[in-house]
Each structure stands twice: as C-alpha cells, then as structure tokens.
C-alpha cells in the first residue's frame, strides 16, 4: 500500500534497487547487471563519449548520472526529450527528436551523427560491416543507420543470422564448423568470464580479442609472404615470451580486424590453463575453410 504524508498526499515509492529518490525510471541494480558493451551503447545514445577505457563501475555511475540529469528537464520526461505541442509528452508511437527514421525509436540519427569516427567504425565492425577504413564520417553515419534499420526488423529484436553468417551470439557458423567451436564457451563481451580454468573459449568480439592479446603483450601481425592483393595474409600475434619470429610483420589492429571479419574467422582461445596459469593458446578458425 502506498504511504501517505502528514498532508494526506501519496508519497512516491522507488522500485526495489533504486537508490535514486524521485526517479522511478532509474533502477541502479538493473543497470549494474548490464553488460559492458550495453552500458557503452546506452551512454553513446545519451551523447556520452570517450567510454572506451572506462571500467564497468565507472560506466554504471556515468549512466546513472546521465539519466539523473535527464529527469530534471522541462516536461518531466525521463529521456530529456522536448514536450510536444500543448506542452504534453509526445505519443508513444512518435519518434524522439533527431530520429528521422519512422517506427524505429532506437535509431536516433542526431546522436549517431555526434559519435566519433572511431566509435562509428567500431559499431559497424560489431554489426559485420567492414571496408570502412577509407570512409568519411558522413558515409559512416549513413552506413550505421542503414545497418541498424536493416536489423530493426529482426524477430524479437534479436540479431538474426545475416549475410555474414554470424549467429545470434556473434559466432560464425557454416558447413565446416568444427567440433572445437561447438564445445567452446561463447564470450560476447569483456564482462564475460570463463566457467573454469582451462575452458575452451570462442569469440568474435574485437575488444575481447584486443584485451586478451594486450594482456600478454601480444602484437597484431601477419606472416610475411602470405598477403592477398595488398591485404593482410595469415593472422598471428607476436608474443615476447615466445621470442621474436622473423616471418611475422606487425600490422595495425584495424588491418588485423578487417582481415579477421572479411574471412569470417572465429577466435578460439584460453584465458588460463587448467592449473590456473595464464595461457597464450589461440587459434583462428573459419566455418568455411581451415585457416591457421
């Protein structure tokens, strides 16, 4: 039962897990359970950038702070959107300001246009769109909006299997999918953890791969003499602990991931050996052909 104040008015109760008074739409417990990628995505949508190096706790605090700031705006809208004609809130079927894409409330072109070039390229890579290295910002914005519009029609708002063959969990499958892939634990973000030491893992997430390699001081490389039409050939990492390999040539992360996505590779790896020691084991595998 709602409680009444001494004046007889009904006091507003906050839902469980909400430590932010008078902001019923902000549930900090639910926000804290979100994945890192989802937190960064929500922050980008609210115009908060430079989140790439932020830890999860900082991302949670930043999102709560942004949402709290939005609740105090005129019109009482939790999203901070301007009120429509007559001072009331826009209808539930209306598009938020800056959204020029009808019936797609999650696509706000104005916010996308404010994103940095690197963030646009990263978002496009996560959606399976490659060959963005030479694209200007306007083209990147258009490409991301187009990709998001195409994805918005997927059943249940989940990621469907697209032309790249990526399944709903981001793992690429095909006729030559190996048993090692089938028995590996899927890692979707840097917030996911292995079920146990020695567990075989698989991912296509760029940030997971980058952090795994950098934690081992690994440098993205290609094997000399294996290039294809000016593009990186066989992909490797050069680990100092293994000694310098003469055949390896260092390349940029952008070039490495561009080849990784074009060849529809999966990254199969370990975080730790079964005895708990750090493991450098990894292999790159395509569901279409064998690729070491």
Position 233 in a domain: yes
Q: What is the pLDDT at residue 160?
A: 33
**Residues 37 and 127 reside in one and the same domain:** no
Domain boundary among 138, 154, 170: 154
pLDDT < 70 positions in the chain:
1-25, 70-107, 126, 128, 150-169, 243-245, 289-292
Please report whether residue 205 resides in a domain. yes
Identify whether residues 225 and 149 lie together within a single domain.
no
Residues 111 and 188 grouped into a single domain: no
Q: Is residue 191 part of a domain?
A: yes
- Is 266 part of any domain? yes
Are 62 and 134 members of one domain?
no
State residue 150's pLDDT score: 67
Q: Domain for residue 24, yes or no?
A: yes
- Dihedral (CA of 89, 92, 96, 102) sign: negative
Say if residue 21 is in the same domain as residue 58.
yes
Cα torsion through 257, 261, 263, 264, rounded to 10: 140
| Cα–Cα distance, 123 to 107 (Å, whole number) | 13
Model pLDDT, residue 208: 94
Residues 35 and 65 in one domain: yes
Taking the C-alpha atoms of residue 277 and residue 152, their distance in angstroms, rounded to an integer, is: 43
Q: Is residue 68 part of a domain?
A: yes
Q: Do 280 and 185 fall into the same domain?
A: yes
Show the domain range for 212: 179-285
Q: Are residues 213 and 273 in the same domain?
A: yes
In a domain, 174, yes or no: no
Report how many domains make up the chain.
3
Query: What pLDDT, on the 0 to 100 scale, is given for residue 43?
Result: 84
Note if the pTM is more than 0.85: no
Do 189 and 262 belong together in one domain? yes
Q: Are residues 110 and 141 in the same domain?
A: yes
- Other Cβ atoms within 10 Å of 45 Cβ, number: 17
Question: Over the stretch 190-200, which tens digit does the pLDDT of each residue have?
Answer: 888 999 999 99
Q: Residue 45 has what pLDDT?
A: 79
Q: Is residue 23 part of a domain?
A: yes
In 72-216, where does DSSP find H-type helix?
A: 109-113, 117-126, 137-151, 179-182, 206-215
The C-alpha atoms of residue 287 and residue 275 are separated, in whole angstroms, by: 30
263 shares a domain with 217: yes
Q: Are 241 and 280 in contact (CB under 8 A)?
A: yes
Q: 149 and 195, same structural domain?
A: no
């Amino acid at each position: 039962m709602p409680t009444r104040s001494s004046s007889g008015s009904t006091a507003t109760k906050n839902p469980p897990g909400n430590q932010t008074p008078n902001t019923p739409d902000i549930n900090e417990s639910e926000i804290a359970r979100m994945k890192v990628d989802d937190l960064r995505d929500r922050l980008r949508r609210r115009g908060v950038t430079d989140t790439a190096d932020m830890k999860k706790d900082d991302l949670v605090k930043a999102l709560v702070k942004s949402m709290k700031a939005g609740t105090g705006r005129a019109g009482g809208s939790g999203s901070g959107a301007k009120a429509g004609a007559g001072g009331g809130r826009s209808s539930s079927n209306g598009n938020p300001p800056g959204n020029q894409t009808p019936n797609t409330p999650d696509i706000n072109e104005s916010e996308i246009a404010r994103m940095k070039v690197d963030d646009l390229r990263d978002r496009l890579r996560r959606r399976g769109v490659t060959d963005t290295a030479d694209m200007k910002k306007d083209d990147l914005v258009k490409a991301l909006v187009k990709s998001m519009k195409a994805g918005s029609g997927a059943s249940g708002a989940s990621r469907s299997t697209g032309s790249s063959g990526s399944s709903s969990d981001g793992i690429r499958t095909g006729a030559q999918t190996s048993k090692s892939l089938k028995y590996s634990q899927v890692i979707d973000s840097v917030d996911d953890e292995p079920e146990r030491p020695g567990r075989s893992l698989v991912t296509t997430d760029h940030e997971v791969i980058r952090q795994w390699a950098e934690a081992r001081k690994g440098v993205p490389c290609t094997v000399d003499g294996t290039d294809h039409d000016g593009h990186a050939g066989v992909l490797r990492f050069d680990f100092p602990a293994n000694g310098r390999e003469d055949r390896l040539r260092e390349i940029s992360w952008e070039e490495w991931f561009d080849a990784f996505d074009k060849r529809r590779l999966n990254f199969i790896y370990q975080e730790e050996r079964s005895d708990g020691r750090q493991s450098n084991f990894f292999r790159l595998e395509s569901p279409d052909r064998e690729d070491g």
